Amino acid sequence: MEHRTLGNTGLQVPVVGMGTWQTFNVRGDAAVRNAHSIVDTALKAGANFFDSSPMYGAAEQVLGEAVRGRREQVLIATKVWASTGSEGRGQARRALHFFGGYIDLYQIHNLLNWREHLDMLEGLRDAGQVRAIGATHYSGGAFRDLRQVMQTGRITAIQIPYNPLEREVEHGILQLPCHHTRDITCRAHGGKCCRRRTSLVRHRRARTGCAPRPAFVGAHRSLATIDDAPEAGCRYRKPPVPGASFPGRAEEG
């Protein structure tokens, strides 16, 4: 598994990361055991960067249980998703409890109340409980606000939709001047191309000079690359990848 440096943090992350939406929002012994098996399979493949959020129901807690006893082997990216500062602080306390007292990459989910949460995350970083700070949004319509956050110089990573159907980021984000982006890593996900039975969209670096350098792509569930877009469009190929709900199938292909 290829690894790349996450912005200016020094974190070495795999080019394929693992999402937890739906797959880890589970209850019951059998479902939780399956989630643990997914983590086992992902780690064997070298995909040791896991992304979660309180927006994903029980996913943070289930992921935390799955990495207990091997926290040092994984990198955790989670998010604060709250309309008030007090709610955000509560989410942070729970996340730190789930993940062994520290978060590798803590993000502001969909820019909700980002100014207040950014202050909180900087405090946690200064206290040694957060290693890097980022921001996310699923919609190109929010890129103006995302650019504003990036231009503060206070974040290290962004997570945005970038796939054969959603390429607004090439114009709205990746072409920002170098002094706004040189220390920011772009983490892309499949968005509209991941809303069927599969998902791992891998992308190449946009040819825009000092644009944010793609570090890795979160695995949610199909397989097409930006390079393949003219031929593949949004056609879906098997097999499922370690982000799929059935870890035993991750070895296919």
Domains delineated in the chain: 3-251 (3.20.20.100)
pLDDT tens-digit map of 161-173: 888 888 888 887 8
Q: Are 131 and 9 in contact (CB under 8 A)?
A: yes
Tokens of 84: 């008030």
Other CB atoms within a 10 A radius of the CB of residue 129 amount to 17
Please give the mean pLDDT across all residues of the chain.
Answer: 79
Please classify residue 177 by burial: count the beta carbons closer than 10 Å to its beta carbon, then call 0-12 exposed, 13-18 middle and 19+ buried: exposed
Widest Cα–Cα separation across the chain: 50
pLDDT for residue 123 is more than 90: yes
0.85 cut: is pTM over it?
no
Q: Is 134 strand, coil or helix?
A: strand
pLDDT tens-digit map of 90-115: 999 999 999 999 999 999 999 999 99
Please list the residues that pair with 160 across neighbouring strands: 188
In the predicted model, what is the mean pLDDT of residues 34-38? 96
Tokens of 131: 């290693």
Higher pLDDT, 253 or 215: 215
Check residue 170 and give its pLDDT.
87
pLDDT for residue 247 is more than 70: no
Question: Which positions ≥6 away from 152 have C-beta within 8 Å?
Answer: 118
In the predicted model, what is the mean pLDDT of residues 48-57? 96
Which of these, 68, 63, 61, 120, lies nearest to 89 by C-alpha position?
120
